[in-house]
């Protein structure tokens, strides 16, 4: 009886292995990347606490009578100049004529550390995260014209 049950188990295992082999399709080949597909973009998320820290810092500066560079004093308040044009685009390098300015050390101390290879810059009324060597704009942290 024992040899028969062993033989039956052996036949059953071989049959199931053969059925699996017949039902298994060869792995599909990975599709070749399309030649015309756009390059992937950098999706950097700015924490809300960093946005709040920037707005709080500049509101306190404005309340003390110190308008940040790029803003003009209007009726004892700081505001954006009329018809300010955005000189940068997300995921694109800053144009050659556009210069960024480092943020004050007191503000940088309140922000999350910038990712490796990136820095915080103020360009006109905007606080941006920009690639150090590429000058590529990775994220908008805050728009100071909303003060």
pTM: 0.66
Using the predicted structure, report yes or no on whether residue 70 has a pLDDT greater than 90: no
C-alpha dihedral, 87 to 92 to 97 to 101, nearest 10°: 80
How do residues 97-145 score in pLDDT, each as one tens digit?
Answer: 888 899 999 999 999 999 999 999 999 889 999 999 999 999 999 988 7
| Reported confidence tier of residue 82, pLDDT bands at 50, 70, 90 | low
């Amino acid at each position: 009886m024992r040899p028969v049950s062993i033989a039956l188990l052996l036949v059953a295992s071989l049959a199931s292995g053969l059925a699996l082999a017949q039902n298994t399709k060869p792995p599909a080949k990975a599709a070749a990347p399309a030649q015309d597909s756009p390059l992937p973009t950098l999706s950097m998320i700015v924490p809300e606490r960093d946005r709040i820290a920037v707005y709080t810092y500049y509101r306190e500066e404005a309340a003390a009578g110190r308008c940040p560079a790029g803003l003009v004093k209007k009726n004892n308040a700081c505001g954006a100049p009329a018809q300010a044009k955005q000189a940068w685009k997300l995921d694109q390098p800053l144009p050659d004529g556009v210069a960024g300015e480092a943020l004050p050390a007191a503000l940088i101390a309140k922000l999350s550390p910038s990712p490796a290879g990136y820095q915080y810059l103020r360009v006109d009324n905007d606080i941006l995260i920009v690639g150090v060597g590429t000058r590529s704009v990775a994220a908008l942290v805050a728009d100071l014209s909303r003060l």
